Chain A
Amino acid sequence: MSDKRAECLSGKGVTKVFGMGDKKTVAVDHVDFDFREGEIVSIVGESGSGKTTLSKMLLGLISVTEGDVMFQGKPRDISNGQKKKEYWKGIQAIFQDPFSSYNTFNKIDAVLLDCINMRGGKNLPYEEKFAMMREACSFVNLEFKELTNKYPFELSGGQMQRLMIARIFLLKPKILLADEPTSMIDACSRATILDMLLKLRDEINMTIIFITHDIGLAYYVSDSVYIMEHGKFVEHGSAEDVILRPKAAYTQRLINDVPKIYEEWDLSTV
């Protein structure tokens, strides 16, 4: 499908093992993946299938036990703080729970200013920084005037998650790792947030790695889908292929488990 597009993030035999000896648990087991530029990839799986562990490894927040991760065609180097900082200019994340994603002691301005500073805008005049912050806020339909001097916990969950997107808008990373960004949010805000993510992808040609347990949502947003079971990818391919013509039994089960409004829910498969 989109193989002509430039390589963005790929991995070979990526493994994460927690603990040792008898208590050893393999969270992610030799997974291979290849994400292209501008692509929206969904990683779908149940709770505990290793999605979040994989995303943390991709972000470089936890070490990789085994295997290689390639960033833009080269092996990624995050051996020291400076190199990590450089890597994080290229890859950013939105987390599941907006309520715990913010340091409640910092004001919203500080969150956005951090992003400007990280993009090298540290010495810009104050007016320019404010203009950038205003622009980012208006991109996610928030009034900067209403946010300034406020603390994150004074916002609603949807507003917080939109602010997270504003943060990504300012940072303009190559890759965005969205770890269930809509699971804690009501259905109306969910659509808005997904729309914003798609708009953002179009604007800065960013790869979005979408981690979710909701296969319906994955079908709705993504170009390609990876299905994860017990730390392994059981199936991957384009969204249509995987979801409309599933090969793996696990995928079939995931699809059957999606509740449908007009049909009786078959609980026998659960």
Chain B
Amino acid sequence: MKNTIRQVFHSPKFVIGFIIFAALLLTTIIYPIVVATDPLEMVGNGNFFKPGTYVSVKDAVEGSKYTLNVDVQSASLGSKISAEDKEAMKEWLVKFGGVAEADIDIEDAEGLIGLWEANYSENAEQKGLTSSKKKYYVRLNKNIDGILLNNDVIIAQENSETGELEQSASIGSQEFVNTKDVANRRTFILGTDNFGRDVLTELVHATKTSLRVGLIAGVIATLIGLFLGLISGYVGGVVDDLIMFITNMFTVIPSFVLLILISYSVGQNARGVNLVGIIIGITSWTWTTRSVRSQVISLRNRDHVNLSKLSGHSMMRIVLTDILPYLASYVVMAFILQISSGILAEAQLSMLGLGPSTSNAATLGLMMNWATLYAAPLNGSWWAYFPVVITIALIAFSLNLMNTGLDQVFNPQLRD
């Protein structure tokens, strides 16, 4: 036993899979201790806030200011004018401004705006432009003027007696605040989702829930499969026929359809995390049963089983001590795969809206479901679904890698 475990940890595939899985598991355990916020707390007041650090504008305005002699214009020009606007500017300059296309570098915002300022005129001959397009260029020009205008921002406060606005401070363009001085900051490493929840916190909790669903499904499927497989293989005869009949019936009906039907009939309100795990478990035991049965059949005629019978051991004892240990490695492998397929099944179910009820816990599948429902892939909010996809892929990858590693250790033919 000790030897086997040592051997298992010498398999690089198993070790890599184990490390990835352990890292995911530890994150789901440690992260909630460090960040104790409610994963389903709706922090953001709106859909899909970009990843990044958010600082309070009021705090920033009121905080102590530092004047930095840096070029603030090019950075703001670069980010305030969109790529489409830049394209449009280039097009106008080439067509009507008489600038050669080679002279225009669209990446260099400052140069582009310089050319624009020098060449653009509202009244220039603009043949072939629709009037709406002409108006668009007028607006764009005004916009650029506004950005170039380097006026201070004036802060006014309402006088409580007269109700008039009085200037209290002005902020020049060279003035900066240190983000550390701003009292109210919140970092969303992975932004927020459609409900305004912190995606990272939600993701960690969802991973934990999904692992639990997978574990419950895996344990149930493996136990049922193992139990039926052992009985069917060892006892044989009518019992075997009966169990195999039931197993074949379950195999023929696509288990995912069964899963959908059961999930649907249970009802939205009753479907908790554990129940979904149980439902997945009781629909996915068939192939464990089949393979355990075939292994038991080949084991039950071995000499050591005969010897055990001759030593007067009971059937229970023979199954537990002479057959089960020989299956253990296989069962562990099947269990690992069952966890992995349980997690995937939960994700699939949730994508269809048949996952756990949504009010109290997030799962990886539910996060995908929400992201799809709120069109995250269409509006470019990659952070709402991509980390989820990566997490599911990592879980499945690590479990499968562990499985392959175990297979290599236990099956000498596959050893390299």
Instruction: Please determine whether chains A and B interact with each other in the same assembly.
Output: yes
Report the Cα distance A118→B313, complex, angstroms. Answer: 9
Stretch at the interface among B160-168, B301-309, B352-360: B301-309
| B307 A118 Cβ-Cβ under 8 A | no
Report the Cα distance A123→B183, complex, angstroms. Answer: 77
Q: Which 4 residue pairs spanning A and B have beta carbons closest together? A: A95-B303, A85-B312, A105-B325, A101-B303
8 A Cβ contacts from A93-150 to B: 93, 95-97, 100-106, 114-115, 118
Given contacts A81-B315, A100-B304, A102-B304, contact A93 B321 (CB under 8 A): no
Report the Cα distance A89→B310, complex, angstroms. Answer: 8
Q: Confirm or deny: B311 has a beta carbon within 8 angstroms of a beta carbon on chain A.
A: yes
Residues of B within 8 A of A10 (CB): none
Given contacts A81-B314, A81-B315, contact A103 B309 (CB under 8 A): no
Q: Confirm or deny: A225 has a beta carbon within 8 angstroms of a beta carbon on chain B.
A: no
Given contacts A103-B321, A105-B325, contact A118 B306 (CB under 8 A): no
Given contacts A100-B302, A105-B321, A106-B321, contact A88 B310 (CB under 8 A): yes
Q: Contacting A103 at CB < 8 Å: which of B304, B310, B314, B315?
A: B304
Chain A nearest CB, measured from B278 CB (Å): 32
| B310 A92 Cβ-Cβ under 8 A | yes
Q: Which residue of B lies closest to A110 (CB)?
A: B321
| A59 B302 Cβ-Cβ under 8 A | no
Q: Confirm or deny: B193 has a beta carbon within 8 angstroms of a beta carbon on chain A.
A: no
Residues of A within 8 A of B307 (CB): 93, 95, 101-103
Residues of A within 8 A of B321 (CB): 103, 105-106
New contact pairs (14) apart from A81-B315, A103-B321, A103-B325, CB-CB < 8 Å: A56-B306, A59-B306, A89-B312, A92-B310, A93-B307, A93-B310, A97-B303, A100-B302, A100-B304, A102-B304, A103-B304, A103-B308, A105-B1, A105-B325
Residues of B at the A interface (CB closer than 8 Å) are 1, 302-304, 306-315, 321-322, 325-326
Report the Cα distance A103→B325, complex, angstroms. Answer: 9
Report the Cα distance A81→B312, complex, angstroms. Answer: 8
Question: CB-CB contacts of A47-78 with B at 8 A, as 1s and 0s?
Answer: 00000000010010100000000000000000
Report the Cα distance A102→B321, complex, angstroms. Answer: 12
Residues of A within 8 A of B304 (CB): 100-104
Residues of B within 8 A of A106 (CB): 321
Chain A nearest CB, measured from B83 CB (Å): 68
Report the Cα distance A105→B307, complex, angstroms. Answer: 14
Report the Cα distance A56→B315, complex, angstroms. Answer: 18
Report the Cα distance A150→B326, complex, angstroms. Answer: 18
Q: Which residue of B lies closest to A94 (CB)?
A: B307
Chain B nearest CB, measured from A175 CB (Å): 12
Q: Which residue of A lies closest to B304 (CB)?
A: A103
Q: Which residue of B lies closest to A102 (CB)?
A: B304
| B306 A93 Cβ-Cβ under 8 A | yes
Residues of A within 8 A of B306 (CB): 56, 59, 61, 93, 95
Q: Which residue of A lies closest to B306 (CB)?
A: A61
| A100 B303 Cβ-Cβ under 8 A | yes
Residues of B within 8 A of A81 (CB): 314-315
Q: Which residue of B lies closest to A86 (CB)?
A: B312
Chain B nearest CB, measured from A254 CB (Å): 26
| B311 A118 Cβ-Cβ under 8 A | yes
10 residue pairs from A and B, CB less than 8 Å apart: A84-B312, A88-B312, A93-B307, A95-B303, A95-B306, A100-B302, A103-B308, A105-B326, A106-B321, A114-B311
Q: Which residue of B lies closest to A59 (CB)?
A: B310
Chain B nearest CB, measured from A80 CB (Å): 12
Report the Cα distance A27→B120, complex, angstroms. Answer: 103
Residues of B within 8 A of A59 (CB): 306, 310
Chain B nearest CB, measured from A163 CB (Å): 11
Report the Cα distance A84→B326, complex, angstroms. Answer: 25
Q: Which residue of A lies closest to B309 (CB)?
A: A61
Chain B nearest CB, measured from A178 CB (Å): 13
Report the Cα distance A270→B304, complex, angstroms. Answer: 34
Residues of B within 8 A of A115 (CB): 311
| A96 B311 Cβ-Cβ under 8 A | no
Chain A nearest CB, measured from B318 CB (Å): 10
Which of B302, B308, B309 counts the most chain A CB atoms within 10 A?
Answer: B309
Q: Which residue of A lies closest to B3 (CB)?
A: A151
Chain A nearest CB, measured from B397 CB (Å): 32
Report the Cα distance A182→B25, complex, angstroms. Answer: 54
Report the Cα distance A102→B302, complex, angstroms. Answer: 10
Report the Cα distance A89→B308, complex, angstroms. Answer: 13
Residues of A within 8 A of B311 (CB): 88, 114-115, 118
Residues of B within 8 A of A88 (CB): 309-312
Report the Cα distance A104→B308, complex, angstroms. Answer: 12
Q: Which residue of B lies closest to A85 (CB)?
A: B312
Chain B nearest CB, measured from A96 CB (Å): 7
Chain B nearest CB, measured from A177 CB (Å): 9
Report the Cα distance A96→B309, complex, angstroms. Answer: 16
Report the Cα distance A84→B325, complex, angstroms. Answer: 25
